[in-house]
Structures are given as C-alpha cells and as structure tokens.
Amino acid sequence: MHHLVDYEILRLIWWLFLGVLLIGFAIMDGFDLGVAALLPLVARTDVERRVAINSIGPVWDGNQVWLILGAGAIFAAWPAIYAAAFSGFYIALFLVLATLILRPVGFEFRNKIADPRWRSFWDWALFAGGLVPSLVFGVAFGNLLQGVPFRIDGDLRVAYEGSGLFELLNPFGLLAGLLSLAMLTTHGAVYLSLKTEGAVRDRARGFIRVGAPVSVALFALAGVWVFYGVPGYALTTAAVMDGPSNPLFKEAVRQPGAWMANYAAHPWMMAAPALGLVGPLLVWGLSATGRAGLAFIASGLGIAGVVGTAGVSMFPFLMPSSVAPSASLTVWDASSSHVTLFVMLVATLIFLPIVLAYTGFIFRTLRGTVSPADVQRHSNSLY
C-alpha cells in the first residue's frame, strides 16, 4: 500500500508538513505567547490585566495543540532530529517546558484569591511563560542556521559536543531570539487590538507602531548577517533521495554563502523572505487605519514568511553539524521508514482537517471583544 507514494515524495511531503506545523504553532500559539509577554506593557490595573488574559483564556489551550502536533511530527517522522535536538537543546527545551507549565497554572490560579500580591505573582509567571518560549524558540532557529556541534558514530548514535545553554546564546542566536520575540509580541498586540476594548487596545496599537518596524529591521539584519557572516552547508555528493536513512552515506561541507544557493537555483523561494519583510509593514499600515482583522492576517503571513525563509534557505538540511558536516541531518537521510511516513500521512489527512474545523468553530463561537465592563460584570466566572 505504501508504495502508492514514492519514498522521496513522502520525505518532501513531511518536510512541508513540518513547516506547516511550525508555522501553525508560531501563528496560533504565537499570539498567546505575545499577549502574555506584553502584560506589563499593555495592562496597568487588575481589570486591564484581566481583559488581556481573558482575550486568550478560552483559546490558548487549543492553540497549544500545534506545539504537540509539531513535536509529535518531529518524533515520528524525523526521529534523528528529535534525538539530536533533545541532546543539543536539552537545557533550553527544559527552560521552555518549565515556563510553559506556568501558563495553565497562572490562568487557573490567578483569580482564586483577590490578594494583589497573589495576582501580581501569577501575572509575572504568565509574563515569563510568554517571554521565555518566544525568545528561546528564535534562539534555537538561530543556532540551527549556524550548525549544531554533534557527531554520529557508526551505530548512528548522536554525540553532542556543545557546552550547554550559554553556548546557544551567541550573537546570531540572540538576534534570532530577539526577532522571534519582536515578531510574536507584535502578533499578540495585533490580536489584542482585535479582541479587546479600552486602554488595553489603545496601548496594544501603540506597541504595534514600534514592534512591526523593529521586526522588519531585525529580519533584514538577520538576512544580511546570514549572507556575510554565517557559513551555510552544502552537499558534495549527490543526494540519495529514496535510500535508507543513514546520514553517514553522504558528504557535506560548510561554506560561506551556501544558505543563499537555493534562491539562485529556485527564484520562487524569494517569496518567503519577501513575505517576512512585507507582512509586518502591512501590519503597521493596516493597524494605523484601524483594520485589525486584516492586520492579524498580515501578521500571520509575515510569520509564515520568516519561518519559511529558514526552511527554504536550509533545504535539504534540517540540522547541520558544525563539527562534522557530513553527519548533518537532511530531508533525505533523517526520516522514518517508508511505511511509517505513509501511515502517518493517512492519519494526518484524516485528523488535521478535524483540528482545523474545530479551531475555526471555536474562534467563530468566541468571536467578539473583551471589555473592562465584561470582566467586572462576570468577575467570578472569568479568569
């Protein structure tokens, strides 16, 4: 049955699916993270903080499904990536997990006691649960572009040779982290301008005027840095697209400018960085004219452009090795078996539309804005 779809096509489909899931997570869970990270800036009173929190309270846990889907897809479709990532980024991922745990606890516990100190503690916990993941996910992408220090031995065991968290916090990694933070907080501000009323909405609009151009500037700076200062990776032997998943069967080198090669070979890929630059500019213009709904769509397209730029720049590499380039993990040698990818494809084609339909139904059901009057009127039933 699985021979209905060629192995190389399945690998390409799952590379695309991985991109779709990462973009879905960045767009859907991204505005939750952005709103939480903006709490101290957009909300100054308890009522204002509750307005911001209740704008995402009913949907954040559904949006978290995209993170689970993304992690599950990496585990099942790209097990070698999963193993290498959890070796190299272990402390960073633990930090993300620890702060993400603060989110459900903060949402549920914050309103249980009226003591201002109690509520302030959980407000800062929610802030950390938005800020840290937004920053760390960007740092991880920045390090992927530079290469991760791991080797693979003859038994295909991954040996990570890095020194831990602080090694990841290198200048380019931090730039990518700041880009991610600017992008997601701007996305959160657009969502607040769409879903809230009063002072919270006004401050969110004010933040967009800063966040959108900063996102463009950081993305442009990252592009220039990659062009001039971040060596890419290239295959020196022909890729075996339908062969066994053994990274050691190929040879690769690290060389300046390699991350730009795909754009010369496939000019249509320039659509991704163009979208990453134009999206935030559209957000800025649409928000200034009060069209928050269109601004939210533009923000999502900008995020898709930024994430897509990383994907098409690196293709076919998924996780290059900075210490043993030939051990780098690619689309053609880091996947699960032919049968596994086919079974997962069938399952995805069944369940992903259900997730999308459910998400659309929830957002339609919960359409409308959150106002200070709503929060005060329903003080005991809302977050």
pLDDT of residue 70: 87
Asked if the model's pLDDT at residue 132 lies above 90, the reply is yes
Amino acid at 18: L
pLDDT at 18: 93
What pLDDT, on the 0 to 100 scale, is given for residue 319?
A: 94
Residue 2 pLDDT exceeds 60: no
The pTM (predicted TM-score) of the whole model is 0.92
| Mean per-residue pLDDT of the chain | 91
Please tell me the distance from the alpha carbon of residue 218 to that of residue 125, in angstroms, as a whole number. Answer: 27
- Predicted pLDDT at 212: 96
User: Would you say 370 and 195 are in contact if contact means Cβ atoms under 8 Å apart?
Assistant: yes
Q: Is the pLDDT of residue 15 over 90?
A: yes
pLDDT in tens, 353-375: 998 898 899 889 988 888 888 88
- Per-residue pLDDT for 376 more than 90? no
* Helix segments in the chain, DSSP class H: 7-42, 46-56, 60-63, 65-77, 79-88, 90-109, 116-146, 165-168, 171-195, 199-229, 261-265, 271-288, 292-314, 338-365, 372-377
Task: Quick: pLDDT tens for 211-240.
Answer: 999 999 999 999 999 999 899 999 998 888
Six-digit token string for 263: 């754009």
- When pLDDT is cut at 50, 70 and 90, the band that residue 242 belongs to is confident
DSSP per residue over 37-74, as a string?
HHHHHH--SHHHHHHHHHHHTTTHHHHTHHHHHHHHHH
3-state secondary structure of 183: helix
pLDDT the model gives residue 381: 65
d(CA 284, CA 189): 11
**What pLDDT is stored for residue 1 in this prediction?**
58
| Percent of the chain residues topping a pLDDT of 70 | 98
8-22, 100-114, 296-310: least confident range:
100-114
129: left (phi over 0), alpha (psi -120 to 50) or beta: alpha
Chain segment 134-152, per-residue pLDDT in tens: 999 999 999 999 999 989 8
Q: What percent of the chain has pLDDT over 90?
A: 64
Please count the CA atoms within 13 angstroms of the CA of 73 that sit on its side-chain side: 23
Residue that wins the pLDDT comparison between 371 and 123: 123
Q: Is 290 left (phi over 0), alpha (psi -120 to 50) or beta?
A: left
Q: What pLDDT digit, counting tens, does each position of 253-287 carry?
A: 999 989 999 999 999 999 999 999 999 999 999 99
**Average pLDDT rounded to a whole number, residues 113-135:** 93
Band (314; pLDDT cuts 50, 70, 90):
very high
Question: Buried b / exposed e across 104-123, counting CB within 10 Å, b at 16+?
Answer: eebbebbbeeeeeeebeebb
Name 319's bridge partners: 329
pLDDT in tens, 181-213: 999 999 999 999 999 998 999 999 999 999 999
Which residue type is seen at 106?
Answer: G
The radius of gyration of the chain from alpha carbons, rounded to an integer in Å, stands at 21
- Res 374: pLDDT: 82
Do the Cβ atoms of 100 and 166 come closer than 8 Å?
Answer: no
pLDDT digit string, tens, across residues 28-75: 999 999 999 999 999 999 899 999 999 998 888 888 888 888 888 899
State the pLDDT at residue 330: 94
